[in-house]
Amino acid sequence: MKIVVTLPTYNEAENIPTMIEALRALPVPDLSILVIDDNSPDGTGRIADDLAAKYPGQIDVMHRPGKNGLGTAYIEGFTWALAHGADAVLQMDSDFSHNPDYIPQMVETLERTGTDIVLGSRYAKGGSLDDDWGFGRKLLSWWANSIYVRLILHTKVKDATGGFRLWKAHVLRGMDLKRIRSNGYVFQVETIYVAEKLGYRAVEVPIHFKDRRLGRSKMSFRVQSEAALRVWQVWGRHRHLTPSMRAASEPVSAH
């Protein structure tokens, strides 16, 4: 199974070399890496280019002209991966908040269960958050996933806002990525909501979520507040979807 790991980056010069080495060391055959860099001022793109030259065929780099948003970075990365023959596409952060050590388990789960999507989940049984997170931050994250999103969208997954996901290629094709409009952190909510509405099945694997090792977080209260409001837009946009509305080339399969 050919797997492409999509890594959006903006000012991740401190993390990207270590992350790429960690991914290359995984016992996962036929795994390649696509770095999607938004013209990082700290030279992340240049570092990625050097690593791509060092490991030809294992690493590719997509250079975007500026900071154009997480959602469009993933959409362009997914589209590239599908065009280059990926059987599955893994999305994750570059800052080690998503531990690469979980990836073999996620791949094994995808193959063993025959599911469509595997999520690295903070809220599945056995999952956890960084011990350094304050009570207020933990409460907000729990409330967003366990109450707010599920109340509005009736999603089945417990971690709808998490960005550590392994998608089978046919799911991304069947979803029709042109449907996805979100360009911030609510992108995670929109994609899993669309997938569930179209009848795709997800399995959650518990993970321990750590704060980034190096660099500064892009998350702020303003970003969180905007994402909360946009959940309603996601509901309004996609509430009518049914499995019969998958892209024409992707028939509905029984689970």
- Domains of the chain in start order, with CATH, are 3-245 (3.90.550.10)
Please list the residues that pair with 90 across neighbouring strands: 5, 166
Give the model's pLDDT for residue 250. 60
CA distance 189 to 191: 6
CA distance readout (Å), 39 to 52, 173, 234: 16, 28, 29
Give the model's pLDDT for residue 239. 97
pLDDT at residue 238 greater than cutoff 60:
yes
pLDDT at residue 135 greater than cutoff 80:
no
pLDDT at residue 197 greater than cutoff 70:
yes
Give the model's pLDDT for residue 5. 98
Q: Are 10 and 40 in contact (CB under 8 A)?
A: yes
Please list the residues that pair with 32 across neighbouring strands: 4
Q: Which of 1, 8, 2, 169 is nearest to 77 (CA)?
A: 8
pLDDT at residue 183 greater than cutoff 70:
yes
- Which H/E stretch holds residue 233? helix 221-238
Q: Whole-model pTM?
A: 0.91
pLDDT at residue 119 greater than cutoff 50:
yes
Percent of the chain with pLDDT over 70: 88
- Tell me which of 147 and 171 has the higher pLDDT: 171
Query: Mean of the pLDDT values across residues 224-235?
Result: 77
Give the model's pLDDT for residue 220. 46
Residue 13 binned pLDDT confidence (cut-offs 50, 70, 90): very high
